[in-house]
Amino acid sequence: MKTLINWLTLICGFITSILIVCTFLTCYQFYYVNQIFNSYLPVQLGIFTTMIALTIRFIVNETGKKRIIYSMFSFTISISLIFFIVNLVK
């Protein structure tokens, strides 16, 4: 179970890194990758997914205060990204 969660976190981080590169290339008009990368929505969704995976990883792998603090911090980041995605924060 721990190995699966660690791999899931690693894969989410890798995909998010690719999304960041593609979004920056398209937004700053260095290279046109695809129309979906004209906004920061793919980056926000990628970071949201990665932070949720990290929250689960911290809950499963860590012990003591780290377990609570790290998981709450990453969960707070993921929830704040949802507010940006649905345009509640302008």
pTM: 0.86
The reported pLDDT for the residue numbered 15 is 97
Domain ranges of the chain: 2-85
Distance of alpha carbon 87 from alpha carbon 83, whole angstroms? 6
- Closest by CA to 8, choosing from 55, 74, 67, 44, is 55
Categorize the per-residue pLDDT at 85 as very low, low, confident or very high, splitting at 50, 70 and 90: confident
| d(C-alpha 23, C-alpha 79), whole Å | 22
